[in-house]
Chain A
Amino acid sequence: DSGVTQTPKHLITATGQRVTLRCSPRSGDLSVYWYQQSLDQGLQFLIHYYNGEERAKGNILERFSAQQFPDLHSELNLSSLELGDSALYFCASSVRPISGGGELFFGEGSRLTVL
């Protein structure tokens, strides 16, 4: 158990809909990263938050947004869903060390199916 909790584990919805994925990082970790994993595109970095502030954006669509709350949990919002958004969405957390280390700890993912 990595200590990172993601809900829901599975989600089935229709095109055009909006969903929210939730992530609780490990206790004490200030950094939260979101990744999308689909069959043909591997692991794609979406966005990184550190202590409530957005720090980096990757290949995140404008239809997607995220935030990190004061209690450090994070939410990824996906709107106007398309069939191609079907994927596993992972959250990972990390401590920000003074030097070295800083490995990511992943949750079990949220599997989104868009029909």
Chain B
Amino acid sequence: AQSVAQPEDQVNVAEGNPLTVKCTYSVSGNPYLFWYVQYPNRGLQFLLKYITGDNLVKGSYGFEAEFNKSQTSFHLKKPSALVSDSALYFCAVRANNFNKFYFGSGTKLNVKP
């Protein structure tokens, strides 16, 4: 069975500091992993994905994610946080048959000036 876990409900970071939002996954077969961001009262926006290849994936708005197969993790990172990055972040894994996407519970990122 496929699943993702986001162990932190909330992450607080100061503007200009690096940020990490954690995600671990459980899949059978090759993992197809995604990160999404949701601003208040808006739909989820796609940030980046890992399908295969380089373990460091670069995405929108300066975000990147590191795939670690041995630790079954796919943490979202950004070298320097902005106040405007404050939002809800979701990690997701796609089932091999494309029929389901499994989302984590979400992590609220608070970036303080």
Contacts and interface: CB of A to CB of B under 8 A. Distances in A.
Interface of A: 2, 4, 31, 33, 35, 42-43, 45, 48, 50, 55-56, 58, 90, 92, 94, 96, 100-109, 111
A92 B100 CA distance: 12
Closest 3 pairs (CB-CB, A-B): A100-B51, A56-B99, A106-B43
13 contacts: A4-B43, A42-B103, A42-B104, A43-B106, A48-B100, A55-B99, A56-B100, A96-B98, A100-B52, A102-B98, A103-B46, A104-B36, A108-B43
Given A42-B106, A100-B52, A2 B100 contact: no
B44 A45 contact: no
B43 A109 contact: yes
Given A100-B51, A101-B51, A106 B99 contact: no
A46 to B, nearest CB: 11
Contact of A43 (B32, B52, B90): B90
A103 B103 contact: no
B43 A90 contact: yes
Given A100-B32, A100-B51, A108 B42 contact: yes
Contact of A48 (B32, B52, B99): B99
Nearest to A41: B105
Given A92-B101, A94-B98, A104-B34, 17 more contacts: A2-B43, A31-B98, A42-B105, A48-B99, A50-B98, A56-B100, A96-B98, A100-B32, A100-B51, A101-B51, A103-B34, A104-B36, A104-B92, A104-B101, A105-B46, A106-B45, A109-B43
B94 interface: yes
- Among B32, B43, B90, B103, max chain A CB count under 10 A is at B43
Nearest to A97: B98
B49 interface: yes
